[in-house]
């Protein structure tokens, strides 16, 4: 008597999560307006992230492992670094809010 053949389950490859390629502009806040292009075949490889709405752009060095998310993240990091130490202006208060604030400051 022979041994029964067991049914083998087929292995299915799990689809890899795709990284985003369209991003929100840090200047005009339009979603999906920033495109990242990577030019590796140039003499000096570089990558460019540019907004199609407000035409802001950012360029950086690139290498074989550079992905669009890396370029966008570097742009966001450089924006934060540029804004570091900048004091945001206080919002303009109307007359009633000024009086309330003044009484709070005097009471303390």
The Cα 98–Cα 108 span in angstroms is 16
Nearest residue to 33 (alpha-carbon basis) of 23, 19, 21: 23
Check if the beta carbon of residue 105 is closer than 8 Å to that of residue 93: no
The fold for domain 22-81 equals N-terminal domain of TfIIb (2.20.25)
Instruction: Identify the weakest region by mean pLDDT among 11-15, 24-28, 31-35, 36-40.
Output: 11-15
Domain regions of the chain by residue span: 22-81
Res. 92: pLDDT tops 90: no
Model's pTM, two decimal places? Answer: 0.64
Res. 84: pLDDT tops 80: yes
């Amino acid at each position: 008597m022979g041994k029964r053949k067991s049914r083998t389950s087929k292995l299915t490859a799990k689809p890899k999560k795709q990284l985003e390629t369209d991003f929100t502009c840090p200047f005009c806040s339009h979603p999906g307006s920033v495109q990242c292009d990577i030019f590796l075949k140039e003499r000096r490889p570089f990558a460019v992230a540019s907004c199609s709405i407000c035409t802001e752009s950012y360029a950086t060095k690139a290498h074989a492992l550079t992905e669009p998310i890396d370029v966008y993240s570097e742009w966001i990091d450089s924006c934060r670094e540029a804004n570091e130490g900048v004091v945001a202006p206080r919002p303009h208060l109307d007359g009633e809010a000024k009086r309330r604030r003044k009484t709070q400051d005097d009471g303390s």
